[in-house]
């Protein structure tokens, strides 16, 4: 393994370990020696990569921001930037990442940590994307009559923030079933009636049920 | 002032001060001396009332739990225990308390604090009440066709948890306008069509607009 590759692996291991420790203990309580031990590297190696705990937290937040960017861009590339289906798909992907990816979970959690609050957080990034898609959907006639893009976006952003926070204590809030139920309640109210049949609450990427033989 | 009354006032001031300091600094960072200074009492007086920080946090959480109980009971007494209007009214009251009452805000926040997680939290208490009302509404035919009490309750609980958390950084999430917009999106989907005209998204206790002269 060349030197550069080894350094990248150590850095990656440190970010993963920091995410796990932040999620378990919170930012304030987490100690650098717990993080380096968890990553299987020396304190010296940690300090070579990250001079302090705030820089580690920034790397974790950047990882979560990168995941939000990847998820929203992929949903938008598949479904278009004015389609409610892109928001449905991205919500499923984001909740799945919050459930299974400790860097995403910790990155969102740090945004709520009093010692770490700063803008833009992954939450704000998600909010702006949802607002943009809803505005374009409204402009393109894809929203139901009597629903404004602003009110629709606020309900989606509030509910996904709630699922994120409640999911930290009970993972069932992040399950595909819960997210599907959320969209089953919301889509008939948000979407133009003509689009409703084509919209999939379970997400368009959900593997289809096995057809009957 | 008799001795007992003075003790009750000191205890009240300590709980208020603890709520403010927990909300500003988080539970882990908050120091007992900051709290006693904020309450305008000596360290000795603090220790007379609360042997440690966890007992202070418990008193703050109990204050928030008491507010949830008071709010939900009042809404239910006015509107009945199977009425969506009672949930609408209680949501407005709860968000108002989160915005203006530091004990309620801190009590909810402590439930999300890693160092303090325990059941039942004010969030769980709120969740159980919403689930109960929605179940009774479903039973009484007050829910729209095609919406289950479970899915409806999950959307309400997730969205209110989201408003609570987002409201900690930007109070506009807790405003009457935001909560009204949330119910304007949700009520037409949740409520039986026959009840819809009678339901008030802004809350039945909202002071009516000044009539034109």
The predicted-structure confidence for B83-123, as pLDDT tens digits, reads as follows 999 999 999 999 999 999 999 999 998 877 766 666 678 99
Q: How far is B189 from chain A (nearest CA, A)?
A: 6
pLDDT above 80 (res B155)? yes
Q: Please write the tens of the pLDDT for every residue from B10-69.
A: 999 999 999 999 988 888 889 999 999 999 999 999 999 999 999 999 999 999 999 999
Partners of residue A168 in chain B, C-beta under 8 Å: 112
Residue A65, CB half-sphere, CA atoms under 13 Å: how many?
15
Residue of B nearest to A149 (CA): B185
Contacts of A113 in chain B (CB under 8 A): 26
User: Between chains, do B28 and A29 touch, taking CB under 8 Å as contact?
Assistant: yes
C-alpha pair distances (Å), A79 with each of A67, A75, A85, A182: 18, 6, 6, 20
Query: Scanning every residue of chain A, which has its alpha carbon at the shortest distance from the alpha carbon of B187?
Result: A189
CATH entry 1.10.357.10 includes domain A60-198: yes
Cβ–Cβ gap B181/A151 under 8 Å: yes
Q: Which residue has the higher pLDDT, B181 or B115?
A: B181
Chain A / chain B CB contacts < 8 angstroms: 115
pLDDT level of residue A2 (50, 70, 90 thresholds): confident
Task: For residue A164, list chain B residues with Cβ-Cβ distance below 8 A.
Answer: 162
- Report the SS3 class of residue B143: strand
For A66-73, which contacts have Cβ atoms below 8 Å and span 24 or more sequence positions?
Answer: A67/A94, A67/A97, A67/A101, A67/A103, A67/A104, A67/A107, A67/A122, A68/A94, A68/A122, A68/A125, A68/A126, A68/A129, A69/A125, A71/A97, A72/A126, A72/A129
A159: nearest CB among B158, B184, B189: B158
Q: Which of B159, B181, B185 sits opposite A162 (nearest CB)?
A: B159
The yes/no answer on whether domain B59-198 falls in CATH 1.10.357.10 is yes
Residue boundaries of the structural domains of chain B: 59-198
Cβ-based contacts of A188 with chain B (< 8 Å): 146, 189
Please list the residues that pair with B191 across neighbouring strands: B143
| ipTM value for the complex | 0.90
For the stretch A95-153, pLDDT in tens is: 999 999 999 999 998 876 766 666 678 999 999 999 999 999 999 999 999 999 999 99
């Amino acid at each position: 393994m060349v030197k550069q590759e080894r350094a990248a692996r150590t850095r990656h291991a440190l970010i993963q370990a920091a995410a796990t420790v932040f999620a378990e203990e919170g930012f304030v309580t987490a100690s650098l020696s717990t993080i380096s031990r968890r990553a299987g590297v020396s304190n010296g190696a940690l300090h070579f990569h990250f001079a302090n705990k705030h820089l580690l937290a920034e790397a974790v937040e950047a990882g979560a921001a990168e995941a939000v960017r990847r998820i929203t861009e992929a949903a938008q590339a598949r479904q278009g930037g004015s389609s409610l289906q892109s928001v449905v798909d991205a919500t499923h992907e984001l909740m799945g990442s919050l459930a299974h990816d400790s860097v995403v979970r910790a990155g969102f959690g740090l945004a709520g940590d009093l010692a770490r609050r700063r803008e833009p957080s992954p939450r704000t990034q998600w909010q702006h994307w949802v607002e943009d898609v809803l505005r374009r959907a409204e402009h393109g006639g894809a929203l139901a009559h009597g629903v404004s893009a602003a009110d629709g976006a606020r309900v989606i952003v509030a509910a996904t923030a709630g699922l994120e926070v409640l999911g930290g204590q009970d993972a069932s809030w992040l399950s595909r079933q819960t997210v599907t139920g959320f969209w089953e309640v919301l889509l008939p109210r948000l979407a133009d009636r003509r689009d409703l049949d084509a919209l999939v609450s379970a997400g368009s990427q959900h593997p289809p049920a096995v057809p009957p033989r």
